[in-house]
C-alpha cells in the first residue's frame, strides 16, 4: 500500500499512523505499507514517526515543486561486499550499465508511442533507431537527450493541450509526470537497497551529497510506465493544479491509482511490473558480483 499525505499532520499510535487534516482523521496500518508520499511542504510529522518508519524500512518520499527527497535507511542493509565491488567497476562496465538503463527507457517510450498510435489510428515516426553508439559517458548523455526529445515529440501528440516535456514545469501534465516519476524513484530506491547496492553511487547522474544518483540511473528503465500512466489519465480526465501549484487531490489519486494498476498487473504468466524493480536490482547485483550480463527492463504497454 502507498500512503499519500497532503496538507495534514501525521502521528503514531502503536503500529498505526494517524492522519489528521481539517476536521477529519484517518488511521492507517503499517503492516502492508510500502511507501509514504508527502506532497508539498505543509505536512507535519514528528521525529517519532520518522524513526518508526525508518525501523520498518519504509521510505518516505517528499514530493516538492523543485526537487524530490527520499528518506531511506541504507545502514539497515549490512551487505558490504557488493558495494565495494560496485565502487570499483571499471569505466567500460559503468558505461555498459548506463547504456542498458537508457536503452530500456527509450525503447519503452517508443513502445508507449506505438500503443497510443494504434488506439488513435495515428501515423508516427517509426524510423528512429534506438541503438546507442556513445563511447563515453558525456556522449551518452547527449545521445540520451536527443533520443528522449524525439520520443517526446511523438508522445505529446496523444496528450490533450500538452506543449512538451518540461521537468518541474508549471502545467498540470508536467506536474503529473514529475509526481509519477517520484513514485518510480521510491520503488527503485527500495529495490536497490534490498539488493545491497548503494543508492547514492551513480553512473551517469553526478554524485552529490544526499543525491540518490544510482536511483536516478536505474529508474530510467521504468519511466515509460509513469509516462503511460499520465497519458492515460490525461485522456480520460482533466488534470488541474491547486493553489500551491501541485496536482489537486483528485489528480493525485487518479495518477496513483492508475500507476499502481499497471505496476501490479501480471503480464501473462510473468511477474508484475512492480516485481521487475526487484528483479532488475537483483540482476544488477549479479552483474557486479558475478559478471552476469545485464539486460534492461523494456516496458510494453497493455490495455488497462
Which residue ranges make up the annotated binding site for Mn(2+)?
144, 205, 220
Distance of CA 79 to the CA centre of its chain: 24
Asked whether the beta carbons of 262 and 228 are under 8 A apart, the reply is yes
Distance of CA 27 to the CA centre of its chain: 27
Asked whether the beta carbons of 173 and 162 are under 8 A apart, the reply is yes
Asked whether the beta carbons of 73 and 57 are under 8 A apart, the reply is yes
Q: In what order do the strands lie in the sheet with 35-45?
A: 24-29, 16-21, 2-13, 35-45, 60-63, 68-71
Pairing mode, strands 60-63 and 68-71: antiparallel
DSSP reduced 3-state for 52: helix
Q: Which three cell numbers stand for residue 77?
A: 542493509
CA dihedral 147, 148, 154, 159 (to 10 degrees): 180
Strand partners, 70: 61
Of the candidates 179, 144, 174, 181, the one whose C-alpha atom is nearest the C-alpha of residue 159 is 174
Which residues belong to the annotated binding site?
A: 144, 205, 220
- For 183-244, give the secondary structure using H, E and C: HHHHHHHHHHHHCCCCCCCCCCCCCCCCCCHHHHHHHHHHHHHHHHHHHHHHHHCCCCECCC
Distance of CA 260 to the CA centre of its chain: 12
DSSP string, 246-267: SBPHHHHHHHHHHHHHHHH-B-
Amino acid at each position: 500500500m502507498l500512503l499519500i499525505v497532503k496538507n495534514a499532520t501525521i502521528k503514531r499510535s502503536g503500529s498505526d499512523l494517524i492522519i489528521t487534516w481539517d476536521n477529519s482523521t484517518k488511521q492507517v496500518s503499517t503492516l502492508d505499507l510500502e511507501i509514504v508520499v508527502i506532497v508539498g511542504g505543509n505536512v507535519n510529522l514528528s521525529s517519532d514517526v520518522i524513526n518508526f518508519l525508518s525501523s520498518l524500512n519504509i521510505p518516505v518520499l517528499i514530493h516538492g515543486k523543485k526537487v524530490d527527497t527520499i528518506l531511506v535507511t541504507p545502514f539497515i542493509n549490512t551487505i558490504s561486499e557488493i558495494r565495494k565491488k560496485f565502487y570499483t567497476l571499471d569505466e567500460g562496465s559503468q558505461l555498459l550499465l548506463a547504456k542498458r538503463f537508457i536503452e530500456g527507457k527509450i525503447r519503452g517510450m517508443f513502445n508507449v508511442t506505438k500503443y497510443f498510435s494504434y488506439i488513435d489510428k495515428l501515423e508516427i515516426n517509426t524510423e528512429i533507431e534506438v541503438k546507442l553508439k556513445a563511447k563515453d559517458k558525456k556522449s551518452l548523455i547527449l545521445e540520451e537527450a536527443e533520443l528522449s526529445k524525439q520520443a517526446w515529440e511523438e508522445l505529446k501528440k496523444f496528450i490533450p493541450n500538452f506543449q512538451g516535456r518540461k521537468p518541474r514545469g508549471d502545467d498540470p501534465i508536467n506536474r503529473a509526470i514529475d509526481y509519477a516519476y517520484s513514485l518510480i524513484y521510491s520503488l527503485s530506491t527500495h529495490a536497490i537497497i534490498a539488493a545491497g547496492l548503494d543508492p547514492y553511487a551513480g553512473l551517469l547522474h553526478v554524485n552529490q551529497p544526499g543525491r540518490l544518483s544510482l536511483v536516478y540511473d536505474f529508474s530510467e528503465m521504468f519511466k515509460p510506465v509513469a509516462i503511460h500512466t499520465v497519458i492515460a489519465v490525461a485522456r480520460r480526465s482533466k488534470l488541474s493544479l491547486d493553489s500551491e501549484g501541485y496536482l489537486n487531490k483528485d489528480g493525485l489519486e487518479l495518477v496513483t491509482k492508475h500507476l499502481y494498476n499497471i505496476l501490479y498487473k501480471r503480464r501473462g504468466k510473468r511477474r508484475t511490473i512492480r516485481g521487475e524493480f526487484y528483479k532488475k536490482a537483483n540482476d544488477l547485483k549479479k552483474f557486479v558480483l558475478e559478471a552476469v550480463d545485464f539486460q534492461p527492463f523494456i516496458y510494453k504497454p497493455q490495455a488497462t
